[in-house]
Structure formats: structure tokens, C-alpha cells
Amino acid sequence: MFVAVLIFIVGYALIALEAPLKVHKSATALLMAATIWVFYIFVGDTVFSYTHFSDNFLLFKTNNPSANFLDFVSQYEMLHSIGEIAQILFFLMGAMTIVETIDHFNGFSILTEKITTNNKRKLLWILTITTFVLSMLLDNLTTAIVMCAMLRKLIPKGKVRWFYASMIIIAANIGGACSPIGDVTLLMLWMGGQITPGNLILKTLIPCIVSLIIPLIMITYKLKGNFENNGQNVVTRPDEIPPRMRDFVFFLGLGGLLFVPVFKTMTHLPPFIGMLISLAIIWSSTEHLNRKYKLKESYSCAKLLMQIDTPSILFFLGILLSVAGLQSMGFLHLFANVLTNTFNGNIYSMNLCIGLVSTIIDNVPLFAGAIGMYPLDVFPTDHDFWVFLSYCAGIGGNMLIIGSAAGVAIMGMEKIDFFWYIRKISLGALLGFLAGAGTFILLNTFVFS
């Protein structure tokens, strides 16, 4: 049974050793995912017959009497997992294309022109606070992509930029953890009736700020001096891109990103549908601008789609598909049972443990497992379990760069080394996580009780 877990551990180790092995992490992730699912197919009907999927298998068998276990995995478990993962991938592709379009029309210069400081520490605080606030309005993944695109216009490529990119990851995840539209998992809880927006913000905002301040201070002391050229390395195109067109594309793109959580709230449809609508509007609008101003063909979204970071998307696919395989085998269900029994139902200890596990396992299946294991008749709406879960699982992924969707996306965009992040960033992220958790428990015990 634990062979699948061993495959997962070995795969993660190979991903972490990408630089010395010189094997791209996307190839490793895809092979890891495929191996886990093949293992599931060939041994699942005997090894996992008593795990949580048995009820689904019996239901599938009832509706398909002639079907066998192989049919169940390929037609039910695999397609169900692919459907959930595809939503995230299409969302990511749409967001990256919109950001790439804004960038190509020089739209981010509207913001970068306002940032005139050449002090490294002051710039870090400006970008961090901006990311934190923006991730509460958008979502952590979109915010991380947008801010990383801005970062490239402010700071030359190099390891100094990695510090800023890492702080963007941390701030995006923390901001997303205290907003019902800041993370897809919190949308799951909100739409499922586990949390309400007011209670979530009230109880998590201060702990989130505490968890942000600690790594921010630690990274601040690692940065000294000023940028020689104000950090600006943006190549402008004043003769090619009229200012009015630049402004139009920037605000249309930003409006399209802001439209996504509103669309989700109004329709209850998956966020990627709203992202695709926004992409379609921006695509058609820029095509019209290309014809009107007779711009080069390179400004077409059709061309820009080929410039997004496809290897990172495939890496994301491999990671999520691997975790989905472990989830289908029942490991998350087993983990939830062990968690409850080990901590005797103590919600703080249980959620702290979930937060640590979310360092290596995406928080989407963790939330899904928690929702499945603890229905509303066990923990009703706005119970402290759900609110603390939002904090722990949303922020726990900061401790490793591959522990969150935002981290995976920025790792691909900036080519941040896995072990560099562990040496330079992980300790601050861990201390911030624990300090914020302690703040939550104290406030909940003495203020909100």
C-alpha cells in the first residue's frame, strides 16, 4: 500500500535535485504521476479494497454491472481527478496569458512608474504589502503571477530578485488565507457553507498579518543598499504603443482578473469559466487594437499563448495528478482518521498538523478530504475548526516553494532553486506560520470566546 507513497517521496526528491541531476522537474513530475496511477490500477483492486473508495466502487459497479476495477479507475477516479485539475490549469493558462498581454502592451509601466524608490528594503515592503492586499481582492495564484510580472520590470534578473519573488509567494498565500475569494479552497468552504466572509476575516486578519511580518522582517535584514538604476530594466515601446492603448489594455486586463471572483460569487460556476470569459474579451479587444493601429503580429494573444510558461503548467499537472492518485487510494482519508485519533479531536493540534502536511501536499485535496471527513453536523458553519483550517492549510504551503500553487507558478517563472528557498526562506515562513497560529489561538481563547 505504501509503495505509492514511496514513489511520491522519490519523485519529490528528484524534483528537489533538479539542478545537480539536470533533469527538468516537469518531466519528473509527469513520470511520478503516471507511475502512481499505473500502480493504482494494477494493485488497487486487492490492496485498497477496504479504503474509502470502496463505496464509490460499489456504486460504480451497481450502475455498470459488467465493469471491473480497471474501468472504475479509468472512467471514474481518473476522469474525476483530471476534471478538477483541468479547472486549475485552464485558470492558470488564462491568467498567465492576460498578464503576458498586459506586459506586451507595456501596461505594467503604469504601476512601475509610481515606484520610484531605489532602496532595496523599502521596495520589498511596498511589493509585499501590495501583494497582500491584492491577493485578498483577486486570488493568491493570479496575484502572484501579476506581481511577478511587475517584479521583472523593477529588478534585474538574479538571486536578489529571488528574495522578492519568495516574499511575493508568502504574501499572496497569506493574503488569500484571510479572504473568502483569496483562494480556491476558501471558495470551496464558503460555497459549501462551512464559513462566512465576515467571521473569516475577523478571526484570521490579525494572525495573517503576524505571519506576514516575521518573514518580511527576516528577509529585510538580508537586503542592504540601493539599486544603482532604481531597479528599472523595463524596455518601453513609446513609438509602438500609444499611451491610450497601453492604459486601455492594462485596465481591461486588471478588470478581467477582478471579474473572476465576482463571476464565481454570482454564478457558482468554477472560477476558470470567468477567467476564460475575461481572456476572450481581452483577446478580441486586442485583435481590434492590432488592426486599428496596425501593430505587429507579435501583439496577438494567439502569439502570446505560445510564450507562457508551458513547462510550469505541465509540472503543476504532474504534482496535482500525483496527489490526486494518493487521494483516490484513500491516503487522505486514512490521514484524517489518524489525525482525529492521535489528537483526540483537538482542533488546534489537528489543523497545525494539516498545515505542516500542506507543505508538501496541495491544500485543495486536503480541504476536500477535511470536508468529506468532517460534515457540518460535526463542525457547523463558522466553527473554529473551519476557520483555523483556512489559516493553517492556506499558509502552511509557504514553508516549501512547491507547497502552494503560487509557489509552483513563481518557481517556474523565476527558476528559483528548491534548496535555495529552503536555506533562505523556509525558516522565516515556518516561524511566521507558528506565530500566526499562536496569535489565532490566543485571540480565539481570550477575545472571541
Region for residue 164 given its phi and psi (left: phi exceeds 0; alpha: psi -120 to 50; beta: otherwise): alpha
CA distance 247 to 360: 40
The string of pLDDT tens digits covering residues 243-255 is: 888 889 889 988 9
Does residue 179 lie in a domain region?
Answer: yes
Residue 441: pLDDT band (50, 70, 90) is: very high
CB atoms within 10 A of CB 290: 17
The string of pLDDT tens digits covering residues 173-194 is: 999 898 877 876 786 677 667 8
pLDDT(427) > 90: yes
pLDDT(230) > 60: no
Residue 49: pLDDT band (50, 70, 90) is: very low
Does residue 304 lie in a domain region?
Answer: yes
Quote the DSSP letter at residue 184: H
Place of cell 524596455: 235
The 3-class SS string of 6-69 reads HHHHHHHHHHHCHHHHCCCHHHHHHHHHHHHHHHHHHHHHHHCCCCCHHHHHHHHHHHCCCCCH
Q: What is the pLDDT of residue 57?
A: 62
Quote the DSSP letter at residue 305: G
Does residue 264 lie in a domain region?
Answer: yes
Top mean pLDDT of 38-42, 280-284, 303-307, 404-408 is at 280-284
Q: What is the pLDDT of residue 141?
A: 81
Look at 138 and 410; give whichever has higher pLDDT.
410
pLDDT(233) > 70: no
Residue 310: pLDDT band (50, 70, 90) is: confident
Does residue 305 lie in a domain region?
Answer: yes
pLDDT(234) > 50: no
Residue 294: pLDDT band (50, 70, 90) is: confident
**Residue 239 — φ and ψ, nearest 5°?**
-80, -25
Q: What is the pLDDT of residue 420?
A: 92
Q: Is 110 exposed, middle or buried (0-12, 13-18, 19+ CB in 10 A)?
A: middle
Does residue 177 lie in a domain region?
Answer: yes
Residue 162: pLDDT band (50, 70, 90) is: very high
Q: What is the pLDDT of residue 62?
A: 65
The DSSP line for 68-81 is -HHHHIIIIIHHHH
pTM of the model: 0.74
Does residue 258 lie in a domain region?
Answer: yes
CB atoms within 10 A of CB 108: 23
Number of domains in the chain: 1
The string of pLDDT tens digits covering residues 68-122 is: 666 666 667 777 788 878 887 888 788 888 888 888 888 878 877 888 888 899 9
CA distance 280 to 43: 44
Does residue 423 lie in a domain region?
Answer: no
Q: What is the pLDDT of residue 314?
A: 86
Q: What is the pLDDT of residue 159?
A: 85
The DSSP line for 249-295 is HHHHHHHHHHHHHHHHHHH---HHHHHHHHHHHHHHHHHHHHHHHT-
pLDDT(58) > 70: no
pLDDT(10) > 60: yes
Quote the DSSP letter at residue 166: H
Place of cell 483555523: 388
Q: What is the pLDDT of residue 402?
A: 80
Distances (CA, A) of 226 to 120, 162, 168, 340: 5, 16, 20, 51
Q: What angle do CA 13, 16, 17 make, to 5 degrees?
A: 90
Q: What is the pLDDT of residue 92?
A: 77
Q: What residue numbers bound the domain in which 264 lies? A: 88-191+210-310
Residue partners of 265: CB distance under 8 A and separation at least 6? 181
**Amino acid at residue number 251:** F
The C-alpha cell at 233 is 530594466
Residue 172: pLDDT band (50, 70, 90) is: very high
Region for residue 226 given its phi and psi (left: phi exceeds 0; alpha: psi -120 to 50; beta: otherwise): beta
CB atoms within 10 A of CB 435: 16
Look at 111 and 66; give whichever has higher pLDDT.
111
Inter-residue contact 206 to 443 (CB < 8 Å): yes
Return the SS3 of 119: strand
What residues does 119 pair with on adjacent strands?
226
Average pLDDT score over the chain = 81
The string of pLDDT tens digits covering residues 374-423 is: 778 888 988 999 999 999 988 988 998 888 878 888 887 888 888 899 99
Q: What is the pLDDT of residue 262?
A: 82
What residues does 226 pair with on adjacent strands?
119
Q: What is the pLDDT of residue 53?
A: 52
Does residue 406 lie in a domain region?
Answer: no
Q: Is 352 exposed, middle or buried (0-12, 13-18, 19+ CB in 10 A)?
A: buried
The string of pLDDT tens digits covering residues 342-375 is: 888 788 998 898 888 888 766 665 676 666 667 7
Look at 407 and 291; give whichever has higher pLDDT.
407
What residues does 444 pair with on adjacent strands?
none
Look at 212 and 98; give whichever has higher pLDDT.
212
Look at 55 and 275; give whichever has higher pLDDT.
275
